[in-house]
Amino acid sequence: MKWALLLFAAGLLLAADAPEQPVPFSHQLHIGTVKLQCKMCHPNPDPGESMTLPAASVCMQCHSAIKADSPAIQKLAQFAKDNKPVPWVRVYQIPNYVNYNHRVHLNAKNVCSDCHANVAESVRVSREGDISMGACINCHQKKGASADCSFCHELK
C-alpha cells in the first residue's frame, strides 16, 4: 500500500488505481442520486486556495439518522465523537510551487468537473482529471486567461 501511495503522489498511478479511503464514500450516490452540492462537503474557506476535505461532523449532519447502523457510518461517528479528522487519502495534490486558488477559478465560472473529470459519477474516486501544467495552460488559453509563467508560479 505504501508503494501505491508513493506512486500515486508522483502521478504515476492510473485512474483505475483509486486509493482506499478510511471510510467508503460514493460521490455517485451523494452527488448523482442525493443531489448534494460539492461545496456542502468541500467548503472553500478564506483565503480560498483549497477546498477542504469533509470533517466527520459534516457527514454526521445527515448520517446521524441515515444508515446509522452501518459499520462504516459507525466508524465515521467515532471520528466525530472523538473530534478527530477523518484520515482521507488525497486524490488530487497540486505541487507547492504552484499558486492555485479554487475561489478564483470558481468565480471565473469554472466547475469542479473541469479539473476533476467525472467525480460525480465515481463510486470510488480516482485521479481522472488532468491537473498537469500542460492541461492548465491549454485551459487558460481556451478560456482567455493569462498563460504567463508568473500567473501561476512565483518567479525569483
37-54 per-position pLDDT tens digit? 998 999 999 888 888 999
Residue 133 has pLDDT above 90, yes or no: yes
pTM: 0.76
Q: Which helix (H) or strand (E) holds 51?
A: none
| pLDDT attached to residue 94 | 87
Q: Please give the DSSP secondary-structure letter assigned to residue 30.
A: I
Q: What residue spans define the domains of the chain?
A: 2-53+88-152
Residue 5 has pLDDT above 80, yes or no: no
pLDDT the model gives residue 71: 97
Does residue 11 have a pLDDT over 70? no
Looking at residue 9, what is its pLDDT? 44
Location of C-alpha cell 500542460: 134
At residue 15, the pLDDT reads 47
How many Å apart are CA 73 and CA 55, to the nearest integer? 13
Q: Report pLDDT for 10.
A: 45
- Measured from the Cβ of residue 80, the count of other Cβ atoms closer than 10 Å reads 18
Cβ(64)–Cβ(80) below 8 Å: no
